[in-house]
Structure 1
Amino acid sequence: MTTIAVLGNGRVGGNLATALTRAGHEVTVVDRAPGAAADAARTARIVINATPGAGSLERLAALREELHGKILVDVSNATTDGPDGLPADLIYPGSSLAEQLQEALPETHVVKTLNTMLFPVMTAPATLAQTPTAFLSGEDPLAKQTVRELLVDLGWHKEWITDLGGIRTARATEAAILFVPHIMRSTGFAPFAISIAR
């Protein structure tokens, strides 16, 4: 059992919290209120950023002391929205939210994952007709191994998880969010994930 704080109580955060609790972890879900987030981060071993990506950097940088030495799992994408409310462009072109977080939180082990799919797939990957891929980006091998184990708890087979390397590789997976509006306009709001076919 691991103590986990999920920052963000929307569809993504709630979905992850329910599944991780079912897997036997001690999970606390908090909204964006600074005080509640600080308290939860202070007592957790792992913190999951499920807050809207556009405000994540400012929100999490304020928790630098509470996140010292912790694993920060970042599942958000930082984008601006188009007129239809769907992602239109990246906030950090040539970089990524994960890189910005790691720079702002040098004593925190940032791991990027689960950001290349619609949220239902995060906790039910086997429901897709084809095998999905979950990517890992981060500087600390032990942190990535811990996150890999969490993914297995969420239903991801080990062979479905691909370690891309350091945190800089997160800019590739974050850019994949630009597929989402086009796929949704084409096929509707049906669960999907980006996958590497071999």
Structure 2
Amino acid sequence: MEQFNLWIGDIVTIFGTFSFAVSGAFAAMQKRLDAFGVLIVAFVTAVGGGTLRDLLLGITPVFWLKNANYSLLIIITAIVAMVFWKRIKTLKITLFLFDSLGLGFFTVVGLQKGLAYDLSPGICVALGTVTGCFGGITRDILLNNIPLIFRKEIYATACIIGGLVYLLLSALGINEALVKFIAVAVVFAIRIVAVKYKLSLPRIY
């Protein structure tokens, strides 16, 4: 069972890397960057959150330096995105969907990493939020956009709720693989519902 859970964890990381690489590539293409620019933005988006997470935990070399397969996955994903982007009618919607998926996957990955280091539940949720959000923040800064986390859209809040759901279900003894799936689905669903119905946190202005 432990090996199965480790395998599921690897799958979650792979899907998170893929999702954020796609979102980074499409965001770069919206800005009409050249092929090298698209690759760089896709790479930074995919590894940004995990890199900050590992540095905060004192894990060096960071995860993508230890395993070159992540870099290869990002490069292939970005190239495929560039080849097929003309067949996708709305880059904005595709970017949003993959960004939301990546947010969910990496929130779970970051939270689990915190649990593996015996950190407190609150810190684990914060670590999951950092892992989920920082790649997107870096992407938006590179593209001269205001990061989504700082706008009125519900973004980091979705990570926090997803993290809390993960901890609650784990405490109830539910199968870990199912808990991961539910937590990712919660983050993704919150993003979809929030954008569809224009839900946002209160504004002070």
Shorter-chain TM-score bucket reads: 0.3 to 0.5
TM-score, length basis structure 2: 0.31
TM-score, length basis structure 1: 0.32
Give the greater-gyration-radius structure (CA).
2
- Relative CO higher for 1 or 2, CA cutoff 8 Å, sep ≥ 6? 2
Give the number of the structure whose residues are more often strand, by fraction.
1
